[in-house]
């Protein structure tokens, strides 16, 4: 079945450093979605990428969808303590609107 993998699992950074998480799917995706889950909280939708090679920015966050639509990345520039949390990518299954979530990357930021 479809698998969505994320690396790294964990990342410790010093505040101000950059951070990147990578997402890879075993199948071609029609779109990729990113969610953020703060410690003790629930996933919150960040963005959806649809087009091959698409790049979108949200302030210090840059999201990219690969040309083959099988991988994606999230890059955070100059991390802040408010960026702490787990970032999940998710891709739709072939049928229906179910999502397959990646394992998540847990970001910890040292002040």
Partner 1 sequence: GAVVSQHPSWVICKSGTSVKIECRSLDFQATTMFWYRQFPKQSLMLMATSNEGSKATYEQGVEKDKFLINHASLTLSTLTVTSAHPEDSSFYICSASWGTAQETQYFGPGTRLLVL
What is the total count of residues that contact partner 1 (CB under 8 A)?
A: 23
Q: Using CB under 8 A, which of 20, 27, 48, 77 touches partner 1?
A: 48
Contacts of 79-82 with C-beta under 8 Å, sequence gap 24+, read 79/13, 79/15, 79/16, 79/17, 79/18, 79/19, 79/107, 79/109, 80/15, 80/109, 81/15, 81/109, 81/111
- Give SS3 for 16: coil
Instruction: Select 10 or 78, whichever has its Cβ closest to partner 1.
Output: 10
The binding track of 66-95 with respect to partner 1, each residue x by CB under 8 A or -, is ----------------------x---x--x
Give the residues lining the site for partner 1 (CB under 8 A).
30-31, 33, 35, 41-45, 48, 88, 92, 95-104, 106
């Amino acid at each position: 079945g479809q698998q969505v993998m994320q690396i790294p699992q964990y990342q410790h950074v010093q505040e101000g450093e950059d951070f990147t998480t990578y997402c890879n799917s075993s199948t071609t995706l029609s779109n990729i979605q990113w969610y953020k889950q703060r410690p003790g909280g629930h996933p919150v939708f960040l963005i959806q990428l649809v087009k091959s090679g698409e790049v979108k920015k949200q302030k210090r966050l840059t999201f990219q969808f690969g040309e083959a639509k099988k991988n994606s990345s999230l890059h955070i520039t100059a991390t802040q303590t408010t960026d702490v949390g787990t970032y999940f990518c998710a891709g739709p299954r072939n049928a229906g609107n179910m999502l397959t979530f990646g394992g998540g990357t847990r970001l910890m930021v040292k002040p």
